[in-house]
Structure 1
Amino acid sequence: MTILSSFAKQVAKLWYSPDLLLIGQRRERRMRMLASLVLVLVGSLWGVFFTLQGGWGIVLMDLLLILCGLGVFILTLRNQVRLANLLLFGVIILVIVGMTLLLDPNTTAAPRATHLYLLPIAVAALMAFRDEPIWLRYGVALLCLGLFTALASSSWAPSSAYNLPDEVRVTGSWVQSIVAMLMLFVLLHILQSDAVERSILDRDLHVALREQQFVLHYQPQLNRTGQVIGAEVLIRWQHPQRGLVAPAEFIGHAEQTGMIIPIGQWVLEQAVRQLRCWNDEPLFAGIGLAVNISQKQFRQASFVADTLALLAEHGIDARRLDLEITETLIVQDLEDLQHKMSALAERGVRFSLDDFGTGFSSLSHLKRLPLDTLKIDRSFICDVLTDSSSETIVRTVIGLGQSLGMTVIAEGVESEAQQQFLLSNGCTQFQGYLFSKPLPLQAFRDYVAQQNS
Structure 2
Amino acid sequence: MPALSTFAKRVRQLWHGADLALVGQRRERRMRMLASLVMVVIGLLWGLFFSLNGYWAIVVMDGVIILSGLAVFALTLRGRGRSANLILFGALILVVVASALLLDPPTLAAPRASHLYLLPMAVGALMAFRDDPLWLRYGVALFCLLLFVGLAASVWRPTDAHALPDEVRVVGSWVQGGVSMVLFFVLLHILQTDTAERSELDSDLRAALRERQFVLYYQPQLNAANRVIGAELLIRWQHPQRGLVGPGEFIDHAENTGLIIPLGQWVLEQTAAQLRHWSDEPLFRDIGLAVNISQKQFRQPGFVAEILALIERHGIAAQRLELELTETLIVHDMEDLTRKMNALVEHGVRFSLDDFGTGFSSLSHLKRLPLSKLKIDRSFICDVLTDANSETIVRTVIALGQSMGMTVIAEGVETEAQRRFLADNGCSQFQGYLLGRPMPLADFCTFVQRHNA
Same fold (TM over 0.5): yes
In the TM superposition, residue 17 of structure 1 has moved relative to its aligned partner by: 4.9
Report if the CA contact (8 A) 2:47-2:58 is conserved: yes
Matches within 5 A, 1:361-376: 361-376=361-376
| Per-residue deviation, residues 218-252 of structure 1 (Å, max 9, x unmatched) | 00111112111111111000000000000000001
CA distance in 2, matches of 1:314, 1:127: 44
CA distance in 2, matches of 1:438, 1:207: 25
| Per-residue deviation, residues 46-85 of structure 1 (Å, max 9, x unmatched) | 1111112111111111111111111211222222222211
Q: Which residue of 1 aligns with 2:178?
A: 178
| Structure 1 range deviating more: 6-15 or 335-344 | 6-15
Q: Which residue of 2 aligns with 1:194?
A: 194
Report if the CA contact (8 A) 2:2-2:386 is conserved: no
Q: Which residue of 2 aligns with 1:55?
A: 55
Q: Which residue of 1 aligns with 2:410?
A: 410
SS in 2 for 1:414: coil
Query: Is 1:398 the counterpart of 2:406 in the alignment?
Result: no
The letter for the 2-side match of 1:342 is N
CA distance in 2, matches of 1:167, 1:401: 68
In the TM superposition, residue 16 of structure 1 has moved relative to its aligned partner by: 3.0
CA distance in 1, matches of 2:337, 2:245: 31
In the TM superposition, residue 212 of structure 1 has moved relative to its aligned partner by: 0.2
In the TM superposition, residue 154 of structure 1 has moved relative to its aligned partner by: 1.7
Matches within 5 A, 1:295-444: 295-444=295-444
SS in 2 for 1:332: coil
CA distance in 2, matches of 1:166, 1:380: 56
In the TM superposition, residue 10 of structure 1 has moved relative to its aligned partner by: 3.5
SS in 1 for 2:396: helix
Return closer, same or farther for 1:176/1:17 CA change in 2, 3 Å cut-off. Answer: closer
Query: Is 1:281 the counterpart of 2:290 in the alignment?
Result: no
In the TM superposition, residue 44 of structure 1 has moved relative to its aligned partner by: 1.2
Report if the CA contact (8 A) 2:222-2:429 is conserved: yes
SS in 2 for 1:316: coil
SS in 1 for 2:384: coil
Alignment size in residue pairs: 453
CA distance in 2, matches of 1:308, 1:13: 40
CA distance in 2, matches of 1:199, 1:155: 43
SS in 2 for 1:361: coil
The letter for the 1-side match of 2:92 is I
Q: Which residue of 2 aligns with 1:12?
A: 12
In the TM superposition, residue 255 of structure 1 has moved relative to its aligned partner by: 0.8
The letter for the 2-side match of 1:303 is F
In the TM superposition, residue 361 of structure 1 has moved relative to its aligned partner by: 1.5
How well do the aligned residues superpose, as a CA RMSD in angstroms?
1.4
The letter for the 2-side match of 1:148 is F
In the TM superposition, residue 6 of structure 1 has moved relative to its aligned partner by: 4.3
The answer for unaligned runs of 5 or more in structure 2 is: none
Query: Is 1:210 the counterpart of 2:210 in the alignment?
Result: yes
Q: Which residue of 2 aligns with 1:247?
A: 247
CA distance in 1, matches of 2:98, 2:326: 43
Matches within 5 A, 1:111-130: 111-130=111-130
| Structure 1 range deviating more: 271-280 or 102-111 | 102-111
In the TM superposition, residue 109 of structure 1 has moved relative to its aligned partner by: 2.7
| Structure 1 range deviating more: 101-110 or 175-184 | 101-110
CA distance in 1, matches of 2:17, 2:124: 23
Q: Which residue of 2 aligns with 1:257?
A: 257
Query: Is 1:104 the counterpart of 2:109 in the alignment?
Result: no
The answer for unaligned runs of 5 or more in structure 1 is: none
In the TM superposition, residue 162 of structure 1 has moved relative to its aligned partner by: 2.9
Query: Is 1:24 the counterpart of 2:2 in the alignment?
Result: no
The letter for the 2-side match of 1:203 is S
| Per-residue deviation, residues 299-340 of structure 1 (Å, max 9, x unmatched) | 111011011011101111111111111111111111111111
In the TM superposition, residue 137 of structure 1 has moved relative to its aligned partner by: 1.2
SS in 1 for 2:331: helix
Return closer, same or farther for 1:416/1:4 CA change in 2, 3 Å cut-off. Answer: closer
| Structure 1 range deviating more: 390-399 or 163-172 | 163-172
CA distance in 2, matches of 1:337, 1:255: 18
CA distance in 2, matches of 1:417, 1:91: 45
CA distance in 2, matches of 1:245, 1:24: 16
| Per-residue deviation, residues 332-388 of structure 1 (Å, max 9, x unmatched) | 111111111111111111111111111122222222211111111111111111111
| Per-residue deviation, residues 144-179 of structure 1 (Å, max 9, x unmatched) | 111111111122222223333333333322222111
CA distance in 1, matches of 2:8, 2:204: 37
The letter for the 2-side match of 1:196 is A
The letter for the 2-side match of 1:115 is H
Query: Is 1:78 the counterpart of 2:78 in the alignment?
Result: yes
CA distance in 1, matches of 2:166, 2:374: 67
| Structure 1 range deviating more: 10-19 or 95-104 | 10-19
Report if the CA contact (8 A) 2:3-2:386 is conserved: no
In the TM superposition, residue 122 of structure 1 has moved relative to its aligned partner by: 0.6
Return closer, same or farther for 1:104/1:409 CA change in 2, 3 Å cut-off. Answer: same
SS in 2 for 1:162: coil
CA distance in 2, matches of 1:146, 1:288: 56
In the TM superposition, residue 3 of structure 1 has moved relative to its aligned partner by: 5.0
| Per-residue deviation, residues 173-223 of structure 1 (Å, max 9, x unmatched) | 222211111110110111111111111111111110110000000001111
